[in-house]
Amino acid sequence: MPPKPPPNYVVQPTPSAYFISRGNGSEEMNFGAAPEYGDLVPNDRMYIHSRAAPPPIDLTTWRLHVAGSAVAKPRAFTYDELLAFPAVTCRRVLDCGVNCRAFFPRVSPYQSIKWLPTGWTQWHFGAVGATEWTGVRVKDLLDAVGLGPAANAQFTSLDAVATEAGDLPYSQVIAIDKVLADDTLLAYRMRDEPLPIDHGYPLRAIFSGWGANSAVKWLGRIEVSQEPLPLTHFQRNQVLAGPDYAEPILATVGPVRSAFELAEDITLGPGDRTLHGRAWSGAGAIEQVEVRIDRQVAQDRWAPIWEPGWRSAKLLHAPEPMMWVRFEVTWKDAEPGRYRLMARASDDAGRVQPRPEAMVWNQHAVGYNGHAPLELSVLPQSNMP
């Protein structure tokens, strides 16, 4: 008998107006729908990345176990006990560390490593969203269990991910400084509703500004250790590694990224156009966004429509740290042709999106932050569908 196909890892409906599927459990946001959203994405439209089906949860028996060599009084918390801690609310962008992977240069600049593995999720722009979390500070919880000197902590899910090494719960080891940060939360509400099942019900970790791969869903256990625990199976694909890295470094703080509020490969009519987009950073607030539009002049040749190339976009509201900001740019008198749009954002930590060729290559294609092209066509009015 052929092996049973795996179940669908996503429970909620994911209509194509709002989601683009990149494989089982990988539903990216369709940026074509973004103009409908305010600062925050509606809960049922938030992108989803799940490596296994959500585990069955019964709140009456569910517990969060907190233990480890750095914990004097290990304890299992009920859901109601967590609600009794001071509630903290924050607005944050949730951006997968490997968002934009599809734009990462396919061919490495090194002879020894020719190609990127192709089996991994080929995210375009949409493994990202912004929302409001409510939860309990990890620090407050650890105070209640007698935290001693600690190196790091492992956050472990109740799911079971099929791996070469057998079924493993999704898990992340995080340095203690980040674990104890004021905006490191165990979230139980999203936009003031209980966490949706696909987003980690009843509890998930939120490490503000860090790649969303750290944000363990369906949390069941935290182990805090005096001696550093090694990176988990899942984190070994989430490190920056390659000839330019003396040793692998865990990718943590989210890069500067940006995207237009357009579906890919759309067709526009000619004339004046107002384009919108969003830019975000895991290190701080966005400071500036520039846009360029190149017109295709030959098979492999593109020429900027504006001199010298980049033009400043208007930010539509005051940028907040670790949140996205909307930007706007006017395209006067768009003429029929094939075009490529790119945005280049910078943040108040002094980081700017580089040219793709200037990116430091890494073998897991983690942390793409270069300009990424969005192609579209402008048709003569008479040819518009």
Residue 211-230 contact track with Mo ion, rule CB under 5 A, x = bound: --x-----------------
User: Using the rule CB under 5 A, is 366 a contact of Mo ion?
Assistant: no
CB of 159 to ligand MTE, least distance (A): 5
User: Using the rule CB under 5 A, is 49 a contact of Mo ion?
Assistant: yes
Contact 128, 30 (CB under 8 A): no
Burial code (b: 16+ CB inside 10 Å, e: under 16) for 358-371 equals: ebebbbbbbbbbbb
Contact 297, 337 (CB under 8 A): no
The nearer residue to Mo ion, 141 or 251, going by C-beta atoms, is 251
Q: Cα separation of 28 and 30, whole Å?
A: 6
Binding site for ligand MTE (CB under 6 A): 46-51, 94, 96, 127, 157, 159, 170, 199, 212-213, 215-218
CB of 376 to ligand MTE, least distance (A): 27
CB of 119 to ligand MTE, least distance (A): 15
Q: 186: which strand partners?
A: 136, 205
What's the sign of the alpha-carbon dihedral 345, 350, 355, 356? Answer: negative
Q: Candidates 47-55, 110-118, 267-275, 337-345 — which segment interacts with Mo ion by CB under 5 A?
A: 47-55
Tell me which of 33, 88, 94, 96 binds Mo ion, using CB under 5 A: 96
Q: Cα separation of 15 and 21, whole Å?
A: 10
Number of residues lying near Mo ion (CB under 5 A): 3
Contacts of 290 (CB under 8 A, 6+ apart): 310, 311, 312, 313, 343, 344, 345
The nearer residue to ligand MTE, 66 or 96, going by C-beta atoms, is 96
The nearer residue to Mo ion, 96 or 256, going by C-beta atoms, is 96
Structure tokens at 199: 């987003």
CB of 254 to ligand MTE, least distance (A): 11
User: Using the rule CB under 5 A, is 48 a contact of Mo ion?
Assistant: no
Report DSSP letters for 217-261, one per residue: SSEEEEEEESSPPPPPTTGGGSEE-STT-SS-EE--B---EEEES
CB of 123 to ligand MTE, least distance (A): 9
CB of 321 to ligand MTE, least distance (A): 20
The nearer residue to ligand MTE, 82 or 127, going by C-beta atoms, is 127
Contact 335, 378 (CB under 8 A): yes
How many CB atoms are closer than 10 A to CB 160? 15
Q: Candidates 60-68, 105-113, 209-217, 328-336 — which segment interacts with Mo ion by CB under 5 A?
A: 209-217
First-last CA distance in the chain: 48
**Which residues form the interface with Mo ion (CB under 5 A)?**
49, 96, 213
